[in-house]
Each structure stands twice: as structure tokens, then as C-alpha cells.
Chains A and B, each alone.
Chain A
Amino acid sequence: MRRFAAGWHCPPKPVPASKPALVRAVYHALYRSPHQRGLRLAAGTLLMLKHALRGALFSWPLYVLLLVGMLAPWPGASWLLAIALPGLLVSLYILLKGVHDDYCRLVHGEILRSQALLAVLRPGPDAR
């Protein structure tokens, strides 16, 4: 369990020790400021939206199945839940893992600028 939880921690991005102590102290003070915390929260929300929308583009029939399994009056419709629920869990795992990866890469350890916040929506390193 501890190993699983550790897998969700972002690897640290330390300020190089070669930088002067003042630079490092300013970085830490700025990084922990309420403004930066707010920007990180906003960036995380944007990433969540991006991944959720992209996921929905491919997997929307899964959510339809879930609704039909719960609401349809047909006999045996609840069997669809047996497929849709594990699918939903996998879909959530994929969503969270994708958001986590992007968060670690683009947000964690970075000083964000509010004007450039939408940059987190740009495609990843695979975009050519």
C-alpha cells in the first residue's frame, strides 16, 4: 500500500545547490505563497478538465452503458453494470494517472505565472 501511495508522489525538483542561498530562499518563499498555491490549484483543475474531456471523447459509450445499466427498465440491464463499473474504475485510474503525470511535469516545483497558466493545456512531449 505504501509502495502504491509512493507511486503517486511527484519526484522532487530541487533548486540546484549551486544557486546562491538567497535565490533558493526566494524560490521557496515564492513557491509556498498563497498566490502560487492558488495557481497550482487552478492548473490542476485545468489539467483535470483537459484529461476528462479527452477521455470522454474516446470512452463516452462507457458512461452511456453505466446510465443504461442503472436506469433502463429492460430485464437484465443491470448486467451492463458488471462491465461498466470495472471500466469506470479503469477510466478513472487512467484519468488520475494522466493528470498526475502532467502535474508532476508541468506544475510541481515550478513557479507559475497567471498569464501563462493555459500553457498547461498544450500537448505533451509527443506532439510533433
Chain B
Amino acid sequence: MFPVRPDEPEYAKLPEIKAPEANRYGKKIDIGCEHKDLTGKSLKINGDDGIGSNPDRYKQHGFYFTADNCIACHACESACSEKNDLPAHLAFRAVGYVEGGTWPITKRVNVSMACNHCDDPVCLKGCPTRAYTKFAEYGAVLQDPNICFGCGYCTWVCPYNAPQLDPVKGQVEKCNMCVDRLEVGLKPACVSACLAGALDFGIIETTPENRHQTKTAIPGFPSPEITHPNIRFQLTQSLPREMTRADAVPLRYVRDGQDQEYKPQVRTENREREWGMAKLSTRENPLVLFTLASQAVVGAFLALFLGPLLGLSELAPAAHPLAYPALLFALLGLETAALVVSTMHLGKPHRFYRAFNNLRYSPVSREVAGIAVFYNLLGVHTLLTAFPGLFAFLPPALLAWLTGASGWGAVVAGPVALYFMHAIYRVPARPFWNHWQVLTSFFGSMFALGALTVSLTYAAVSLAQGKPVTELLGWLAWPVVFGLALEAVGLWCHARDLKRRGDEGAASHYEQTTTFGKTYLARNIALLFAIAATAALAALRPDGLAGLALWVGAALLIVVTGTVGRMLFYALVIPTTMPGAFFWRNKAFQEHAQKTGLAARPQTGVALDAH
């Protein structure tokens, strides 16, 4: 058990207080009543078998933050870091601020934020490895770094930036509610260290001493409807109508005239339109390759397998007995490369197999399972098609059935995997991604890149054999045009919807049209040109080497457009995190520190990206 000091001050001890039955979202506060089977067990903190003596052990606890009192001294951060022995680049609790007004009447609201141990923890559902557990003890959401394999998906889905991806260790860690202190009746370290009485802790929906408000909103705090967080605020001071973030996110919070709540709005700053090429490259570059390659492989296999059934006899295995299996192996190779790249993107690649642990809830698990099934069926189909002689011991009818069944299986598994791939990005904490355009983009790439891969390979082979290629290219051009048009329509609707909204998605769109403005414009023009060029090639059907050269030119344009578009997709997303400070949790400062070498000094608190 955690050793309690004999002179422990009263403010560090949890008060005995009567709790209501349910919280404001209708959830029972006494978790032990609902789940009797979970009570009376040890939390096994550091291998200790003891069970805490806290009488409120099974009641949902939460933080209380009085913004009026916070002076941004960062004592809570220091106490947390000391308690959890954290390196300088990691913090489970962070203090950021929003500011408003004009000099000399200015106001600043500091917000100290850690994990809110939500009623509906999206990190728990999103984690593919099941590293998260919501405990009946105190309602704490705890994460086991030994199970985590460092994909970072929980950091995408959490609206409060609570889980921290440690790029050095390659795993995620987060606030553990100081459950060891709670077991012996002490408040968490951050609360006990608070100098100004801003941070408090206790059973949720009770009002701690010296407080009278238990609000769920404060300027800069994401919508509590996403996860039902266990944090309550008090903010009594009058604030200006507009409050601005101190970090680089182009957002401000404007008070709504009707319900007096602060709503996010884009902070426009007369920025020039730039290329922003250096910022296009992100930690997610491997995912750019993985998503595009997987979509191309699925699309190409659909074209190869379904083409002959739809009347494209040129695509039948009999028409090209050498090129057909060779292309299947090339697709298998491309998917292998995509899988290798995506696995190495993990903090701990050797734990890749844990990605299947949470098929019930996590879209990541479902995507990985879908891709694994597709990849294996593609492998079986390729092997049976390319080397039927190896399976001569099987009855011919069974061999034919196995070949067909594996092909049809891959035809179904591929698009299903891409659907789950899209579902990964539909998270409310990332409004720029949370749009159906992701689906049109992924399936658009599947049609365009898949048909392009097959048509160019077959065209090159047919040309080498002296056969005409115009008809096949003409037919396969239409899926390319359809895919590109699907992507273009999705992008147009996405931009239109983002402009209408005032949230982080609109801020992402603002970045899209300013920081990356020229790249965005060039991509859009290139996409429209690619649609027109492919449609023209399909209609005019130029023959011979010149025709093939034109096709190769169009293909290059399509690949470059797709790659730049996907890089923009990852570079532009702005999460619904709490505001950072000038030097802390500020993307602009982190970029500056990494560019200037400041990040090499550990005390700066910015880790050089090791993964």
C-alpha cells in the first residue's frame, strides 16, 4: 500500500461525502452495486495484493477544476511527473490557456487537464490491443503500457489529448488517477500539489468545499457529449466575448448570444497562400503508403478477377498465361511492402499480432483483420492460379473450387477491409476526418489506382507481344474516371461542409487553403485535369507506343495527385484537444524545437521523433 505520511495535510485527504445515485448522464455512480462480481479484488499495484480501505472504492470519481483560481504555476504537472517518474517530453497533465480582451482589460483562463476517466472511454473502445480497462475501483480508466504496441490510435480518438505516445519507448502511457493514493484515502498527487485550490478531486456530482458550480463546459473544452468525461468546472469571472488559444491552432472561442456557451470559430489572420511542402511530411507517412498501396491492390484484384466475368476476356488468365500470375505476384508483393511499412510504423512492431485483440470494438482491429484475410486469400488464390501443378494431388474439381473460393473470398474481404480502414478515421475528436469523404476517397483510390495498375501492366505486355491494346485501355479507363470523379465529388462536399462548420475541421480547412494553399490548389487542378485527360484517352483511344506514353503520363499524374492528397489528409488534421501554452503542447513550438535542434536537449520537453 502507498505509505501515508504521519503529517499528511488535511487538504490531501479525500473527504467523506454523500454521493447521488446517478450522474447527469444517467450513469450509476456506485459501480460496485451494478457489478458485484468486480468488487473485493486487489488492484495489484506494483504486485501488492492488498485491498484499499477507502469506503468509496467503487464510486465513480472525477476531477473538479476551478478555473478562477488557477495561476498556471504548473505544480500539478510537476507533481504528476515526479509521482510517475516521467521524462521531460511526457506529461499526463498539462496546463494550457485561452486569452481575450484588449489591453489593458485582458483576461486569461488557465486550464489544467489530464485524463477525465470518462463514462464512455473512446480510448478503450479504439485500442486494438485491449490495453485499456475501466475499473470498478474509482471508475478509473487505466492503460497497461506492457500490452500497448504503440499504434497511437488512442491519441487520435481521445478529445482531451490524455493518452501520451512516447516516441522514445514506442508506447502510450497515461494518467492512472493515482489509484495507489486513492486506496489509502489520499487525493491524486496533482490535486494535493495545487497551490491555489484550483484542482480538486472526489466522487463525481458532489460539490467540493468552496465551490458551487459543477459545469461540464469551459472555453476551449471539447464537447462532453463525445465521452461523458468525469470533470466538472467552475468559472465565475466574466470573460470577453472572444477568447483565443495561445498555441498555433487557428481557433478562437466566441460566446453564443443564446446559450452563453463558447463555441469554436476559425481565427483568420490574413495569411498568404503557401506551398507548405516541408510540413506535408508527417509521422504518418507510412500510413500514406499503406493506405494507397492497399487500395490499389484491392482495386487491381477486383479488376483482374471480376473483369473476365464482366466480359473483358483480355483479362482472363487464359489470355495471358504468364502475365496474369506474374501480376498477381506483383500485387502480393505490393501488399507485402505495404504491410511491412505499416508494421514498422508501430512503436513495437514485434507485438503486431496484438492488433487482433479488440475485434468487438476497435476499427483498427477490424481493419487489420480484414487486410490479413484479404492478403492470405490473395496469397492462396495466387499460388493456386500460378502453380496448379504443385497441387496435382488434389482432385481437379476441388482445385478449381478452391481457386474460385479464394478469389471470391478476396473480392469480398478487400472492400470490407477498406470500409474498416475508413472507419478508423471517423472519430469525433478529429472533425477534419469525421466526414463521409474519407469513404469516397478510399474507394475512389481503389477504383482509380486498381484499374490503372491492371491496364498499364496489360498494355505493356500486349504491346510487347504486338497485340492491340486500345480496347482494353479504353474499357479500364472508365473505372479510373469513376474513381477520380468519386474522389473529386467527396473533396468538394468536404470543403463545403467544413466551411459551414466553425470547429477544428474548419480550422483544418483554413490551414488547407493558407499554409498548404498552393499545394491544395495544384492538387485540385491536377485532379480535374486527370479526370478530363483519362476520359479523353478513353474516348479517343490512341494506339501504339505514343498511346501508351500518354497513358503513362496520365498515370503519373494520378499517382502524384493521390499521394499529395493523402499526405494533406494526414498533415491537416487538427484534434479537438484542450488549448496548449506558448512553449508547451504547441505544435508550432515543437516544430521550431525540432528544426533548430533545441529538441536535442531533454529539458526542452520535445522528443525527437524516433519512430
Contact = CB atoms under 8 A, between A and B. Distances in A.
Interface in A47-70: 54, 58-62, 64-65, 68
B343 A90 contact: yes
A93 B379 contact: no
Interface in B528-554: none
Interface stretch (B49-57, B79-87, B349-357): B349-357
Contacts of B322: 74
Given A83-B336, A83-B337, A87-B337, A94 B350 contact: yes
A61 B349 contact: no
A54 B357 CA distance: 15
Contacts of B333: 65, 80, 83-84
Contacts of A79: 330
B194 to A, nearest CB: 35
A91 B350 CA distance: 9
Interface string A65-105: 10010001010110110011011001101110110010000
B329 interface: yes
A128 interface: yes
B340 interface: yes
Given A74-B322, A126-B147, A65 B372 contact: no
A84 B336 contact: yes
Interface string B463-481: 0000000000000000000
Contact of A74 (B326, B336, B375): B326
Contacts of A76: 326
A74 B326 CA distance: 8
B379 A126 contact: no
Interface string B341-352: 001100001111
B336 A60 contact: no
Contact of B340 (A54, A86, A101, A125): A86
Contacts of A80: 329-330, 333
B332 interface: yes
Interface in B269-289: none
A74 B353 CA distance: 34
A126 B357 contact: yes
Interface string B378-391: 11001100100000
Contacts of B260: none
A126 B129 contact: yes
A86 B337 CA distance: 9
A61 B379 contact: yes
Interface residues of B, number: 34
B407 to A, nearest CB: 15
B386 A68 contact: yes
A80 B333 CA distance: 7
Contacts of B351: 98, 101, 126
Which residue of A77, A94, A128 has the most chain B CB atoms within 10 A of its CB atom?
A: A94
Contact of A125 (B146, B344, B352): B146
Contacts of B334: 83
A126 B354 contact: yes
Contacts of B130: 126, 128
Contacts of A83: 333-334, 336-337
A62 B383 CA distance: 12
Contacts of A74: 322, 326
Contacts of B147: 125-126
Nearest to A91: B340
Interface residues of A, number: 30
A60 B350 contact: no
Contact of A65 (B144, B332, B349, B350): B332
B313 interface: no
A80 B386 CA distance: 15
A86 B372 CA distance: 19
Nearest to B375: A61
Contacts of B332: 61, 64-65
A65 B352 contact: no
Contacts of A54: 353
Contact of B343 (A68, A94, A126): A94
B329 A68 contact: yes
Most A CB atoms within 10 A — which of B129, B147, B326, B382?
A: B326
B376 interface: yes
Contacts of B329: 65, 68, 72, 77, 80
Contact of A58 (B144, B146, B353): B353
Given A80-B329, A93-B349, A65 B336 contact: yes
A58 B372 contact: yes
A128 B344 CA distance: 26
Nearest to B349: A94
A14 to B, nearest CB: 16
Interface string B137-168: 00000001011000000000000000000000
Nearest to B354: A126
B144 A125 contact: yes
26 contacts: A58-B372, A61-B336, A61-B375, A61-B378, A64-B332, A64-B379, A65-B332, A65-B336, A72-B329, A77-B326, A77-B329, A80-B330, A83-B336, A83-B337, A84-B336, A86-B340, A90-B343, A90-B344, A94-B350, A95-B350, A97-B349, A98-B350, A101-B350, A101-B351, A126-B130, A128-B357
Interface of A: 54, 58-62, 64-65, 68, 72, 74, 76-77, 79-80, 83-84, 86-87, 90-91, 93-95, 97-98, 101, 125-126, 128
* Shortest Cβ-Cβ A-B pairs, 7 listed: A61-B379, A97-B350, A83-B333, A98-B350, A126-B147, A94-B350, A87-B340
